Amino acid sequence: MENTVKVRIGREHYHTEIRIGKHLLIADEPESLGGTDEGPVATELLLSSLGTCTAVTVRMYADRKEWPLDGVEVTLSLNQTTESGQLSTEIERNIELKGNLTEEQRERLMLIADKCPVHKILSNPIKIDSKMV
């Protein structure tokens, strides 16, 4: 099945293996929370997915248009607050477009950034269906 990720944790405190096809990633918690800090925490992985998707989507569009985009740097941060018992999450995404682009090209690429698949997923209602197997 495409888009299937398998995550495994054993008795090690918070060292988590993530299998995606032939790829292996490690997630962990910082030492201050009892982990060994051998990998990013889950929220950092979430942000990296959005950042990667944004950069690739912008790169693909600029390539199709043959625009002089030399590079894209995406910096992300996540902030959560609770008001009246309701958790609210805000993701700040700063996109730096490198190259000799016109202002019109830059504005278009910023619009395209919002069209990346991960941005669309995170911007719409999400339902998580959990089953014990």
Q: Is residue 114 in a domain?
A: yes
Which residue bears the tokens 């992300």? 76
> What tens digit of pLDDT does each residue of 41-60 get?
999 999 999 999 999 999 99
Tally of CB atoms within 10 A around 41? 17
Question: Residues 81, 24: one domain?
Answer: no
The token pair that represents 43 in the structure block: 């929220």
If one counts the domains in the chain, the total is 2
Shared domain for 5 and 35, answered yes or no, is yes
Task: Look at residue 6 and tell me if it is in a domain.
Answer: yes
Note the pTM of the prediction, 2 decimals.
Answer: 0.90
Check which CATH number belongs to the domain holding 95 and give it: 3.30.300.20
Token reading at 41: 């925490």
Q: Which domain holds residue 22?
A: 1-39
Within-domain flag for 30: yes
Residue 87, CB-side half-sphere exposure with 13 Å CA sphere:
4
Q: Answer whether residue 129 is part of any domain.
A: no
- In tens, the pLDDT along 28-37 reads 999 999 999 9
